[in-house]
């Protein structure tokens, strides 16, 4: 009977292995049960203050021939630290953190902690019942590194609770619908930003306690803000206290050790127990912390061996992805699964039952790369690269894409979004405003990394907070106001999001005006039509003609050249009436250099 409860774990279909393994303390009895999977260990002991760190005091018993070890102790207190001592097949003893620990010591210490996850009084029931995958809803994601959004004057990090009281009102005010948090599982090296994890069930202790983070999630939900967290099932740190050679053999990693490009160990995703471990981790964050979305990192490195398509498809990893998405979605119907994937692998957002990978969304990294290369180009040459902008709609409906400018675009010598733009100071901001109007009117959900909204010039550094002092300067404050207004327009106009993934939501007006480098298109739904004009050159036009889909009066909703945004007020202040010319309806408008303009007509 004892073995029966572990069968699902060993079959690779377990989503709640955190109930089976780890340190579970019963508050009523005071007893704590330690359970760990170590199939090739010769013996397993647990050490801590409760047994004076005596390696000979507390041996776990092997309760399952497949490598499950367990021991119950009655003198362990909540918040006690502990480690496992693994004796490998050679007799060597190694101290390890608990792979299923729910909390850990603050780095650089590495011991696990005995904690209770229960006891928080959630108040987000209405949100949890009504949340959605958001295909036909607006989704404006603010990507955040919890340790550097803001830092206290004394250099300390904000706690999860303090971050909740600062960050969530900021997101509400600035029109964000979701927060995406860079990984919050435990990790030893700050410079890995959480993408080289050591604890897949352990909330990082850098920013406070589990209940403080539950408060963060609860407050987000009560303010109608969803939360997505980055999840890394590709690789893990090779630090000696972690998963590498856990039982003295390659237990979690491939039998033939292969170091990743990040200097880490690849998970062996063909191994059923590893699948259960990682699937349970993803489910854990949804179950225990009410996470609304899981963004899976480095999917191309999962699909292809070491991320290189020339090495062939990693079938074990592909099968794991399909199972992860199917099983998590089956248990948590309204949790979003999102792929960060730079490959051209087909069917990433196609349901797994139809042969796809089963993600709900995929980051459009191709769009991001083409777009930023175009905006960095001298406008003189843009007419020769016109398809770098119009090409995205040629493939857009093949997947459900998120348009993203993430942390990866503003680090390691890549320059920030504003600083990537061609030209001098004012030209950079003019084009950045144009860029964001393009982004917010292009089909697909939106994601922006923190700092982008204030026109950051310094690349992101995890040890420094955003340069909030920039808002003392008019050009940066105006840029923030522009992003704020653009976000609010996006949220309040359903034609900009309702049919993101349907052909009926987007139409080109003129995709081929390479000579003038001007793009025109429109978004529509049952309520209204919004016409977009993007001028990619420093040339102005007093009476530029735009073909429109219906006759009537077109009202300028936002113009990136308004002085309140840092422009020069070459705008269209009165509604523009269409005229009939050569069997088509047109409007004649003013177009400023590098202007992005949005017009609306009600149906």
Q: What is the DSSP string of 4-23?
A: GGGHHHHHT--S-HHHHSEE
Strands (DSSP E) found in 333-415: 336-339, 361-363, 401-405
User: Does the predicted model carry a pTM greater than 0.85?
Assistant: yes
pLDDT higher than 60, residue 1: no
Q: Do 410 and 461 form a contact (C-beta atoms < 8 A)?
A: no
Annotated active-site residue in 87, 287, 297, 561: 297
Q: Assign 108 a pLDDT band (cuts: 50, 70, 90).
A: very high
* CATH fold label, 3-113: Immunoglobulin-like (2.60.40)
Retrieve residue 441's tokens: 């009117």
CB 163 within 8 Å of CB 146: yes
pLDDT at 257: 66
Q: What is the pLDDT of residue 261?
A: 81
Could you tell me the pLDDT band of residue 2, with boundaries at 50, 70 and 90?
Answer: low
Extended strands (E) in 288-428: 293-296, 336-339, 361-363, 401-405
User: Choosing from 87, 340, 341, 524, which is the catalytic residue?
Assistant: 340
Burial class (CB within 10 angstroms; exposed 0-12, middle 13-18, buried 19+) of 450: buried
Could you tell me which of 495, 519, 523, 496 has the C-alpha nearest to residue 507? 523
Is 340 a residue of the active site? yes
Cα–Cα distance for residue pair 30/235, rounded to 1 Å: 36
What is the rounded distance in angstroms from the CA atom of residue 172 to the CA atom of residue 178? 9
CB-based contacts of 298: which residues, under 8 Å, 6+ apart?
232, 234, 235, 307, 340
List of residues 6+ apart from 37 with CB closer than 8 A: 9, 21, 67, 68, 69, 99, 251, 273
Q: Model confidence over 301-351: pLDDT tens digits?
A: 999 988 888 889 999 999 999 999 999 999 999 999 999 999 999 999 999
35: left (phi over 0), alpha (psi -120 to 50) or beta: beta
Is there a common fold for 3-113 and 505-602? Answer: yes
When computed from its CA atoms, the radius of gyration of the chain, rounded to whole angstroms, is 26
Pairing status of strand 361-363 against strand 336-339: parallel
- What are the pLDDT digits (tens) for 467-526? 999 999 999 999 999 999 999 999 999 999 999 999 999 999 999 999 999 999 999 999
Task: Please state the domain extents for the chain.
Answer: 3-113, 505-602
Q: Which CATH number fits domain 505-602: 3.40.50.10860, 1.20.200.10, 2.60.40.1180, 1.10.1060.10?
A: 2.60.40.1180
The closest of 44, 48, 50 to 63, measured between CA atoms, is 44
SS3 of residue 513 by DSSP: coil
For the CA atoms of 447, 283, 18, 63, the dihedral, rounded to the nearest 10 degrees, stands at: -130
Partner residues linked to 541 by β-bridges: 591
Terminal C-alpha separation, the chain: 66
């Amino acid at each position: 009977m004892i073995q029966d409860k572990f069968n699902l774990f060993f079959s690779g279909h377990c989503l709640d292995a955190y109930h089976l393994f780890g340190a579970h303390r019963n508050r009523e009895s005071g007893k704590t049960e330690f359970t760990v999977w170590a199939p090739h260990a010769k013996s397993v002991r647990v050490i801590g203050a409760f047994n004076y760190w005596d390696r000979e005091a507390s041996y776990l018993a092997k309760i399952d021939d497949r490598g499950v070890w367990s021991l119950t102790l009655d003198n362990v207190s909540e918040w006690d630290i502990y480690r496992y001592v693994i004796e490998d097949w050679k007799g060597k003893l190694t101290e390890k953190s608990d792979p299923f620990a729910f909390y850990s010591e603050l780095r650089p210490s590495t011991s696990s902690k005995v904690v209770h996850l229960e006891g928080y009084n959630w108040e987000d029931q209405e949100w949890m019942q009504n949340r959605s995958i958001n295909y036909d809803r607006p989704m404006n994601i603010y990507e955040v590194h919890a340790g550097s959004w803001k830092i206290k004057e004394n250099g300390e990090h904000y706690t999860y609770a303090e971050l909740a009281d600062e960050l969530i009102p900021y997101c509400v005010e600035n029109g964000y619908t979701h927060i995406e948090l860079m990984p919050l599982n435990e990790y030893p090296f700050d410079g890995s930003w959480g993408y080289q994890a050591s604890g897949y069930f352990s909330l990082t202790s850098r920013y406070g306690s589990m209940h403080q983070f539950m408060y963060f999630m609860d407050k987000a939900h009560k303010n109608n803000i969803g939360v997505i967290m980055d999840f890394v099932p590709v690789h893990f740190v090779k630090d000696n206290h972690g998963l590498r050679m856990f039982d003295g053999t390659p237990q979690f990693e491939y039998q033939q050790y292969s170091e990743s490009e990040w200097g880490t160990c690849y998970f062996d995703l063909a191994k059923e127990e590893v699948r259960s471990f990682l699937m349970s981790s993803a489910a854990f964050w949804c179950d225990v912390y009410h996470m609304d979305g899981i963004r899976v990192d480095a999917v191309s490195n999962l699909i292809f061996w070491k991320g290189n398509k020339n090495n062939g498809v990693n079938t074990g990893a592909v099968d794991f992805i399909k199972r992860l998405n199917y099983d998590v979605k089956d248990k948590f119907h309204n949790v979003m699964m999102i792929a960060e994937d730079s490959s051209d692998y087909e069917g990433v957002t196609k349901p797994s039952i139809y042969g796809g990978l089963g993600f709900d969304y995929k980051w459009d990294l191709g769009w991001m790369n083409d777009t930023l290369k175009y905006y960095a180009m001298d406008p003189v040459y843009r007419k020769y690269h016109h398809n770098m902008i119009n090409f995205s709609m040629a493939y857009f409906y093949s997947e459900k894409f998120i348009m993203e400018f993430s942390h990866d675009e503003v680090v390691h010598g890549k320059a920030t979004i504003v600083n990537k733009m061609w030209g001098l100071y004012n030209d950079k901001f003019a084009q950045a405003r144009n860029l964001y109007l393009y982004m917010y009117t292009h089909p697909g959900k939106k994601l922006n990394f923190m700092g982008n909204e204030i026109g950051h010039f310094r690349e992101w550094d995890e040890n420094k907070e955003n340069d909030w002092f920039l808002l003392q300067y008019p050009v940066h404050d105006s840029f923030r106001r522009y992003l704020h207004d653009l976000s609010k327009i996006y949220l309040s106009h359903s034609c900009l999001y309702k049919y993101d993934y349907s052909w009926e939501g987007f139409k080109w007006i003129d995709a081929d005006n390479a000579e003038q480098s001007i793009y025109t298109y429109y978004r529509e739904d049952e309520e209204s039509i919004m016409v977009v004009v993007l001028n990619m050159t420093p040339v102005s036009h007093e009476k530029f003609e735009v073909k429109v889909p219906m006759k009537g009066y077109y009202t300028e909703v936002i113009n990136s050249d308004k002085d309140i945004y840092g422009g020069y007020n070459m705008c269209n202040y009165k509604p523009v009436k269409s005229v009939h010319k050569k069997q088509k309806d047109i409007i004649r408008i003013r177009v400023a250099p590098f202007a992005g303009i949005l017009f609306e007509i009600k149906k």
